[in-house]
Structure 1
Amino acid sequence: MNFSVHFDEATIDRLGAAVERSGLTRNRIIVQAVREWLERNEEPGWPESLREHFRNPAPELVEEALDVQAWASALAPEREPRW
């Protein structure tokens, strides 16, 4: 998907210098910066083990029982479970 982003001159200059240093394109640097920002600031998702548990229509038939403590520890330490 394409869209326009407008930067001030100082940011454009800094981005140009980063392109020269890194050898990456402006677009690649911007994409990487946005991905890193999202990883740091998005609401944490549920761990894969818990998503798999709820994907299974009969979780009681799975050999391994769901360990609530295992996925609860994956939540951000500053956040409490919402239940």
Structure 2
Amino acid sequence: MNFSVHFDEATLDRLNKAVERSGMTRNRIIVTAVQEWLARNEEKDWPEALKTHFRNPAPELAEEVLDFQAWRATAIPSESGVRW
């Protein structure tokens, strides 16, 4: 999909310098920046095993014990630094 984006002169100058340094096209830099922003800012969801665990009113009685440390290592800290 194509659409127009309008930048102020200072941003356009910085973008053009980044093109020269990186060898990437302006479009590729913009696409990469948007993809990275979305990856950081899209709503994250809890792993299914964890959601199931907390839906159970008495998780300590479940047959299988949930290993919280297994999913914790994959949790990504938010921009505010808060971990879940």
Give the TM bin, normalised by the shorter chain.
Answer: 0.5 to 0.7
Counting aligned pairs with the same residue, the percent is 66
Structure 1: tracts of 5 or more residues without a match: 52-64
Change (3 A) 1:75 1:12: closer
One-letter code aligned to 1:44: K
Residue-pair matches, total = 65
State the alpha-carbon separation in 1 of the partners of residues 22 and 65 from structure 2. 45
Q: Please, what is the CA RMSD of the aligned residues? A: 2.7
- After TM superposition, the score normalised by the length of structure 2 is 0.59
Q: Identify the residue that residue 31 of structure 2 maps to in structure 1.
A: 31
Q: Which has the higher contact order (CA 8 A, sep 6+)?
A: 1
How far has the Cα of 1:75 moved from its partner? 6.9
Superposed CA deviations along residues 9-53 of structure 1, whole A, max 9, x for unmatched, are: 010110000000000000000000111111111111344xx29xx
Structure 2: tracts of 5 or more residues without a match: 50-63
